[in-house]
Structure 1
């Protein structure tokens, strides 16, 4: 079966597996912010119409300045792309033909983009038994075999994160050896009590950090991501980027939402509370739940195969993310996002019934 490569496309998913689309859908395969700002805090309709009709600033000057200020970096250390996915694609082009290491299971676009650009990919696959972590000795061994290392922090789809001291040691070893490390922090904003590696840019010129604004601000249709890195790397990315990649609508929406720190902090707190509540209920009901710090988690029934659960959820109108195309998972888990209390309760009610 040709399983969809990503979540957030339930119509395609139902069509692929031959099920009729229910009238009422609850999409747990999408991992954007479940909390949205009231319409009164959004730009006006007139603003939307004006931005949609304007050519964007091809340099995204104002947005770069705002992001640099937020990250406490100079403008020359920030690159803005059409979503984090374009940033990843451009990095793969930049490292064309290189030896790339990937910590898996993880976001499939790293592997796809690198292979498309002639890279040789070596992966280190973690498992449930190790808490989805990697031995430091294995990480250093992989580092010796590659030119570039891609990792996701917190990781998609497990939701897990490396300890700060371990990641720092890895980045330091890579930098000393002239190896690049690309850290995708797309889900950093959802990590309550977490840390970012962006401040390390000043110490490690081989460190590249990718961020997304799409997920936290619920702007999947606008597509805004950015890279924090040394100035030389930023200039190389700009040279590869097609003109007008980031629309005026996307740039202006990002500028509008960036100052809303209270909204981000509230989201982070609510996600942490709901994730802990959901995990507790599911573990008691007979499910494995990955030790996630993000706004999603892996799930599997402890004493039953996952495929019947997948089909039962879909027939109920609850859409999970399959894991067929995540290295090492082989479809034995489902990835589910953390949503609002009401939405999570609907999921929990069904999952408890399914186990009885």
Structure 2
């Protein structure tokens, strides 16, 4: 269901998780070390300092901001708060949306994105928003495809009045970060983002959301556990909000390395889907053994055959540092040449 299973395999290069290839910045590490001195205290149950900092960053009311133990907790809380009967998803996409929908007893309706469109979200998605749909969950950029949805399509989806939970967890690592829907938020929209991917801290767990209004934020917050974010995570988040230069450097590295990986993989006659994110989806002509063969070389990639809308032979790789990417390409070429 997810990448990152390095605990059951001997792995040197983990391409299965999509986190910032530059790793966790030093200032965040220092902030977390300092936070250890505070672990004998409870966190601020209101997280006022972190919420205020997020609100200032986006120019929104602090009452519209909520924080969570990763974005996944917020997805679950949002559906728990509104209890939709039918949730619409555009697939292939992150499995966590369906997991959250099923957990609250919702029926899942799937709109299948097409390979001939590079799995992009197109206008016909609007036609899938039928009267019986209560909630729509979308990602921009989408995972695993890396497609950033057209802002006009998102706006039209929001205009239907349905509850829209928009996942922007990877947007800050793209050159379209300024297109966040937070700046165009409507009262029926909740935009979810994460520090995890942008700052390579999946072991810390920290996400946040900007809701369309204070009432929505309060309702979702009511389905979150008390003290759901640790003092260490809160301090990491406060430090992260000061790291815009780090993100700009990260975006430059990702763009260059994504281009390198895409061109090299396409050169092996694999089917590469254009991506704007820090990961790439590609089809390996139905090969089911690519992940297994790479594990033998201590390289882990994401087998995407369990995504709705994909099948055996589709894989996702993260964009990592150049030396790691060179190693992956070297081993992929060995496998491709051996067929």
SS where residue 276 of structure 1 aligns?
Answer: helix
Q: Which of 204, 207, 212 is 2:194 aligned to? A: 212
Change (3 A) 1:68 1:217: same
8 Å contact 1:124–1:142 — kept in the other structure? no
| Structure 1 counterpart of 2:281 | 298
Residue 278 (structure 1) shift: 1.1
Residue 242 (structure 1) shift: 1.4
Deviations 1:287-311 (A, max 9, x none): 1111110011112224xx3212221
| Structure 2 counterpart of 1:182 | 165
8 Å contact 2:164–2:190 — kept in the other structure? yes
| Structure 2 counterpart of 1:227 | 209
Change (3 A) 1:147 1:74: same
RMSD: 1.8
| Structure 2 counterpart of 1:346 | 327
Instruction: State how far apart, in whole Å, the 1-side matches of 2:197 and 2:220 are.
Output: 22
Instruction: State how far apart, in whole Å, the 2-side matches of 1:86 and 1:166 are.
Output: 26
Change (3 A) 1:134 1:187: closer
8 Å contact 1:101–1:143 — kept in the other structure? no
Change (3 A) 1:140 1:298: same
Check if 1:239 corresponds to 2:222.
yes
SS where residue 11 of structure 1 aligns?
Answer: coil
Residue 46 (structure 1) shift: 5.5
Residue 41 (structure 1) shift: 6.5
Change (3 A) 1:261 1:164: same
Q: Where do residues 112-127 of structure 1 align in structure 2 (5 Å cutoff)?
A: 112-127=99-114
TM-score, normalised via structure 1 length: 0.89
8 Å contact 2:71–2:193 — kept in the other structure? yes
| Structure 1 counterpart of 2:154 | 167
Residue 171 (structure 1) shift: 1.9
Instruction: State how far apart, in whole Å, the 1-side matches of 2:310 and 2:104 are.
Output: 25
Check if 1:11 corresponds to 2:29.
no
Instruction: State how far apart, in whole Å, the 1-side matches of 2:198 and 2:32 are.
Output: 22
Which structure 1 segments of 5+ residues have no match?
Answer: 13-20
8 Å contact 2:32–2:232 — kept in the other structure? no
8 Å contact 1:84–1:212 — kept in the other structure? yes
| Structure 2 counterpart of 1:75 | 62
| Structure 1 counterpart of 2:96 | 109
Instruction: State how far apart, in whole Å, the 1-side matches of 2:208 and 2:109 are.
Output: 26
Residue 143 (structure 1) shift: 4.3
Deviations 1:293-340 (A, max 9, x none): 0011112224xx321222111111110011132111133301100000
Residue 40 (structure 1) shift: 6.6
Change (3 A) 1:153 1:8: same
Instruction: State how far apart, in whole Å, the 1-side matches of 2:31 and 2:78 are.
Output: 36
